[in-house]
Structure 1
Amino acid sequence: MIIDSHMHLIRSKCFDKPTYDWLGQSIPSDTNIDDLVNWMKKAGIVKAVCMAQDMSRIWNSEFGEVAVAEAFKKYPDFFIPFCSVEPLDKAGRFCQEKFDYFKSMIEDHNYRGVLITPPYGQFMSNDKSLYPFYEYAQKQDIVVQYHHSAAGGPTVLAHTKYAQMVNLNDVIFDFPNLKVVVEHIGYPWSEYLFTLMVNDKNLYTDLAMLYKRPYWLTWNMVMAKETGVIDRVMFASDFVAANNDLFSENPTNDFIEWIEFVRTGMNKICEKSGWPLFTESEINGILYENAAKLYNC
């Protein structure tokens, strides 16, 4: 069994075309939800943490909160839904409208967490204007998930200076019981992230979008093992759309390839490199058990 701990559902109409044309970025095509669930199940995925992505503050786009709502309604036993908000308004102030929406999705619609993406919204995660969101999330015992990483390619959407890991250090210090997930093992500050994970047992991370860097990923998993935090690393696909970014026209094949890399590929690299091997328990943890523990499923 596999849990995909981080993927996206979209509606192309929720992207602002003039903005994306100006940026030179293409807008992904919608994915039929039945096809997506079928692709994932064929790969052995039994649950998926799904979210849109709010980028309305700077880029006038929000991926498609409606897509998450529709998918969760249709497949409530498969999807673990998150909302996504940018906590600041366009003037850089606390956004009451987004806070009210956040509370409604948690209290009225049984969502399990919230996605916040500082580099896309050009704000710092330790900005005190965000703290009411963290206070509420900690009280409700839900997950705050961050894109707290550099972008993996030549994108102009995400500014790296807003993703520095030192900002997150302030947040986990001020909210010691807050459940946090950092996507992409905090690339390129993974070692710093693992140190924070040693300090905070509520801090998790995922492997999304890193499978095409097999040696770098494997070495970082060796470091996670050495620092004793590999039990909080989770498999994730970061799916957005077929034929988009790293995904082919048949995403099942991509899911299977990446799952198999975690299951056997990392240990093949370790054997060649003289690095410690990963145990079956550690591998099963990444693929299923760590996410199941976090989401109690």
Structure 2
Amino acid sequence: MTRRIDPDAVDAIDVHTHVQLSVAEASAPDRSESFDAMAKYFKTDKVTRFTVPMLAEYYRARRMAAVVFTVDSAHQTGREPNPPNEEIADLAAEHSDVLIPFASIDPHRGAAGVRAARSLITEHGVQGFKFHPTSQGFFPNDRMAYPLYEVLQEHGMVALFHTGHTGAGAGQRGGGGLRLKYSTPMAVDDVAVDFPDLKIVLAHPSFPWQDEALSVAMHKPNVYIDLSGWSPKYFPPQLVQYANTLLKDKMLFGSDFPMITPERWLEDFAAAGFRDEVRPKILKENAVRLFGLAAETG
């Protein structure tokens, strides 16, 4: 029987981590131009690709849980996600004391993607889906994606949308062909209206649309914000202000590991002006509520 995360056994829940290596690969493949551009953007050249078991070991050693996923951008890249969703979900089930599996379906897959999503939920136990509108080349409110959202809402999934700037393609010629316009939070506002029971997370400080993200999260009860992808010392002042007040129950800890480590994020978080009573909410309590987790009892 699959175990569930015991909130009392972890100190934090990182809602944003990437699986970038399949267990089927004997060793990490050569880093791509896109991967190197991302590492340069995050000012690190020591990024290691992690398999699901590696992530489980890493987070378990730190008394943390983590949401794990890949990104399916087959429409733009012509490549299938690696590792595949099924591998991530099935291996995460073996480490379900610390891992929460998400899947990623490119909305351009149409009916085939909808069928795959349903299978990933019912047969592989995924608990949410990651969308990266810039990498996938679509506006979240494109009706093309609505049949996919219908399945997610039906099954009580969490939909995590990348918003704002991205390190993907940064510095490459033509931005690697990626268009930032797709990741405006206001496009997700339409999704929150049309799917009011779908649990939605706006990923990252949403530069240059931070105020839009705050507005959407304040206005729509089903919308949260994760704080991944940036060191907290660079957070816009209004993000910290609203996290301390009106949105204190809707902010989530996320690192964007392995590009940013949880250690680095937490060290900067401690000095970023968040109130003492708010920090536990961001680090764990809000995620416990979002994912419906409950402490195991004797």
After TM superposition, the score normalised by the length of structure 2 is 0.79
Distance 1:190 1:230 in 2: 16
Distance 1:57 1:29, change over 3 A: farther
The answer as to whether partners of 1:43 and 1:256 remain within 8 angstroms in 2 is no
Once the two structures are superposed, residues 186-213 of structure 1 have per-residue CA deviations (whole angstroms, 9 ceiling, x without a partner) of: 23212111111111111011111211x6
**Corresponding position of 1:151:** 166
2:114 paired with 1:76 = no
Relative to structure 1, the CA distance from residue 230 to residue 128 in structure 2 (aligned partners, 3 Å threshold; closer, same or farther) is same
Is the Cα contact below 8 Å between 2:89 and 2:102 reproduced in 1? no
Letter of the 2:50 partner, please give it.
Answer: T
Paired residue for 2:268, among 242, 261, 273?
261
Contact 2:20 2:51 in 1 (8 A): no
- Structure 1 vs Structure 2 CA RMSD: 2.8
CA contact (8 A) 1:10 1:67 kept: no
Give runs of aligned pairs for residues 101-120 of structure 1, distance below 5 A: 101-120=116-135
Partner of 1:170: 190
More helix by share: 1
Q: Supply the distance in 2 between the matched residues of 1:199 and 1:282 (Cα, whole angstroms).
A: 20
Residue of structure 2 in register with 1:190 after alignment:
210
SS for the counterpart of 1:115 is strand
Tell me which amino acid in the other structure corresponds to 2:267. E
Identify the residue that residue 132 of structure 1 maps to in structure 2. Answer: 147
Q: Deviations over 1:224-265 (max 9, x none)?
A: 334x1121111111124xxxx44xxxxxxx322312322x21
Is contact 1:53–1:64 with CA below 8 Å preserved after alignment?
no
Deviation for aligned residue 1:138: 1.5
Q: Deviations over 1:11-62 (max 9, x none)?
A: 3689xx99x55998589754254443333233331x1111111011111332
Q: Percent identity?
A: 25
1:5-154 equivalences under 5 Å are 5-11=15-21, 20=32, 30-45=49-64, 47-61=65-79, 62-65=81-84, 66-89=86-109, 95-152=110-167, 153-154=170-171
Residues 189/69 of structure 1: CA separation in 2 closer, same or farther (3 Å cut):
same
Q: Does 1:281 align with 2:277?
A: yes
Which residue identity does 1:7 align to in structure 2?
A: T
Equivalent position SS for 1:101: helix
Distance 1:99 1:32 in 2: 26
Alignment partners' CA distance in 2, 1:258 and 1:172: 29
Partner letter of residue 153 of structure 2? Q
Determine which of 180, 194, 203 is the counterpart of 1:160: 180
Separation in 1, partners of 2:95, 2:254? 19
CA 1:196–1:84 in 2, change beyond 3 Å: closer, same or farther? same
1:224 maps to 2:243: yes
SS in 1 for 2:13: strand
Kindly provide the amino acid, as one letter, of the partner of residue 294 in structure 1: L
Measure how far apart 1:215 and its partner are: 4.1
Unaligned runs of 5+ in 2: 1-10, 40-46, 294-298
Specify the alignment match of 1:92 in structure 2: none
Aligned length: 265
Q: Look up the equivalent residue of 2:283 and give its one-letter code.
A: L
Q: For residues 161 and 136 of structure 1, do their structure 2 counterparts lie closer, same or farther at Cα, with a shift above 3 Å needed?
A: same
The 8 Å contact of residues 71 and 79 in structure 1, kept in 2 or not, is answered as no
2:215 maps to amino acid: T
Q: Are the counterparts in 2 of residues 207 and 234 from structure 1 also a CA contact under 8 Å?
A: yes
**Aligned-pair CA distance for 1:169:** 1.8
In structure 1, stretches of 5+ residues that fail to align are 90-94, 247-253, 268-277
List aligned pairs for 1:199-218, cutoff 5 A.
199-211=219-231, 214-217=233-236
SS for the counterpart of 2:278 is: helix
